[in-house]
């Protein structure tokens, strides 16, 4: 066990909507009994990519004792494809382009890697 940054999910706030499952490229989050859970702590790199997508503000990052991040195992996880999400700018689906979660004007949205630069640079 080591002390490092890792995702924490507030079950009181979590509605089990499942929006945070796709943003976690490492497949560390699953919905279990209607609540999001970090199922394999060794798969969570603590980058907090999932934080921005949660509409309830249920996800945060904390420093605690946990297992070391296993980069090899995380990379071996099958990429999660979700047909229900699309880029809010161009409408591309998850199948066509790589989609990233982001916060934009107080909303949790998906944006494809092609539209992202125009959002950053205006
Ligand atoms: S996005 Fe937030 S509310 Fe939805 S399942 Fe994940 S933690 Fe729960
Ligand atoms: Zn796009």
Q: Decide if 76 contacts 40 (C-beta within 8 A).
A: no
Among protein residues, the one with the nearest Cα to ligand 1's atom 3 is 14
Nearest ligand 1 atom to the CA of 19 is: 1
* Cα–Cα distance, 89 to 113 (Å, whole number): 11
Among protein residues, the one with the nearest Cα to ligand 1's atom 2 is 54
Give the pLDDT confidence score for residue 38 in this predicted structure.
Answer: 92
Listed by start position, the domains of the chain span 2-75, 81-122
Give the pLDDT confidence score for residue 14 in this predicted structure.
Answer: 97
Q: Which ligand is nearest to the CA of 117?
A: 2
* Cα–Cα distance, 21 to 5 (Å, whole number): 19
| Ligand 1 pocket test, candidate residues 7, 9, 11, 17, most atoms within 8 A of CB | 17
* Cα–Cα distance, 73 to 98 (Å, whole number): 21
Give the pLDDT confidence score for residue 60 in this predicted structure.
Answer: 93
Q: Which ligand is nearest to the CA of 110?
A: 2
* Cα–Cα distance, 90 to 76 (Å, whole number): 30
CATH (one of 2.40.50.140, 1.10.10.60, 3.30.70.20, 3.60.21.10) for 2-75? 3.30.70.20
Nearest ligand 1 atom to the CA of 31 is: 5
10-residue averages of pLDDT along the chain (122 residues): 94 94 80 93 84 89 94 76 83 84 76 86 72
Nearest ligand 1 atom to the CA of 15 is: 3
């Amino acid at each position: 066990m080591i002390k490092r940054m890792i995702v924490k999910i507030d079950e009181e706030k979590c509605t089990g909507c499942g929006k945070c499952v796709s943003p976690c490229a490492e497949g560390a989050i699953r919905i279990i009994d209607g609540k999001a859970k970090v199922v394999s702590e060794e798969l969570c790199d603590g980058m907090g990519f999932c934080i921005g997508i949660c509409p309830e503000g249920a996800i945060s990052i904390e420093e605690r004792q946990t297992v070391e991040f296993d980069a090899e195992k995380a990379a071996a996880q099958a990429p999660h494809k979700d047909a229900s999400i699309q880029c809010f700018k161009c409408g591309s689906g998850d199948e066509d382009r790589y989609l990233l979660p982001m916060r934009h004007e107080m909303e949790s949205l998906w944006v494809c890697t092609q539209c992202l630069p125009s959002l950053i640079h205006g």
